[in-house]
Structures are given as C-alpha cells and as structure tokens.
Amino acid sequence: MSIPCDIVLLPNEELAKTAIAASQALAKYDPFFTLEIGKFYPHMSLYMFQLEESDIERVNAVLQDIAAGQTVVHGHATGYKMGEGFAVGYVDPDYEVTDELHALQQTIVAAVNPIRSDMRQSDKEKMVDATGIKLENLQKYGYVSIGQLFRPHITLTRLKENVPEALNDLPDISLFSGAFDRIGLFEMGPNGTCIRKIAEFPLAKTSV
C-alpha cells in the first residue's frame, strides 16, 4: 500500500508558534484547516511524492544521512502570497530561494526519487495540461516544484476563496524569518497538509 508523503523542513519552536498563531488569526474566515502541532503541522515542503509503506525505512535512512551533514537552515521570509499562480485560497509567507535551500532540495530529490512509488493523484492530474519545465519535472520526479519552480513557503491555511483583506490580520513578514532545524517525513492530507509525522531528523549544529 502506498501513501502520499512530503519531505519537509520543520521550523524551530519559535517559528512554529508564529505560524500557528498566524493561522489561528485567520480561522474566522472559515478555512479548510488551521495549523496545529499533532494535527496540521507547520512546514516548508521540499518534495511531495507517493511512497510504498514498505519503503518508509529506506527513505528514513536516506534522510537521516542527509540531515547529519546539513547545518540548520535560516530562512529569509520575503512576503505573503494568496492564491497567486497556484490554487485559490492558500495563504503563504514566501522565502528566498538560497543556494543552500536549492542544494538541499536537489540532494533529497536525487536520493528519494528512485525509491518513490508512481505519483500522487494530484500530480497525475497536473500532467494533463503541463508543458515546459512543469511537464519535465512531473516526468522526471513526479512533482512540479523542483529546481527553477521551487518556491519555498509555509502554508498558514487555505481559505475557500481569495480574501485579500485577510492579509491585514497577519504579523509583519519579518517575524517569519528564522531557523528550520529538522527534516521531517510526513503523510499528507488534503490541501497540502502534513497530517501524520512518520519521522524527523535534527540537522547538524550551525557552523562556527
């Protein structure tokens, strides 16, 4: 049996609390979900894919090895987006695509892509009208947001429609700049949520 999975960077406790509080501030707009540790985890997605449950330990071993050689990642938040260029209603602080983030994603994808099982159903549906780099990524990796299309972000919630004024309820974007100190493997739910933590791996200490 296979399950949809997401390999993510997990924010440290302070940044996770900031994301959860911001998500809860948008609860009055009747969203599809609100972030909460143990239910809908705050995260930065690196690679979404389908995985046979019998291969979970293989992926865990790969991620443990990668995490052991990776220093803590410091994300620089650049601004909020709502439903721009992707599905309606998502509210995200975006992050700068640094060489470090790009290299980490490439390392993970290269190691896990040979292990993955087929594609998530939502990615199969994207194949219908995909062209260019989007199509190439789906064909090679089963996932769109890789390389040039990588857009690091934390999804705070998904509203049923775009509500631009909801952004006024969010804190200054600078509060989302901070440390991501673990790699996580999660089972995914609807709307890109991480609903079950399978494993997490602390990153190495920051270099002196």
Model confidence over 166-176: pLDDT tens digits?
999 999 999 99
What are the pLDDT digits (tens) for 21-33?
999 999 999 999 9
Phi, psi of 146 (to 5 degrees): -130, 145
Residues 193, 33: contact at Cβ < 8 Å?
yes
pTM: 0.95
Helix pair 99-112, 56-68: axis angle to 10 deg: 150
What are the pLDDT digits (tens) for 10-20?
999 999 999 99
CA distances from 188 to 45, 125, 195 (A): 11, 17, 6
The two three-digit tokens of residue 186, written as one number: 């999660």
* Domains contained in the chain, CATH given: 2-202 (3.90.1140.10)
The two three-digit tokens of residue 99, written as one number: 């060489």
- The share of the chain scoring above pLDDT 70, in percent, equals 97
CA distances from 193 to 4, 90, 138, 155 (A): 11, 11, 20, 8
Burial (0-12, 13-18, 19+ Cβ within 10 Å), 121: exposed
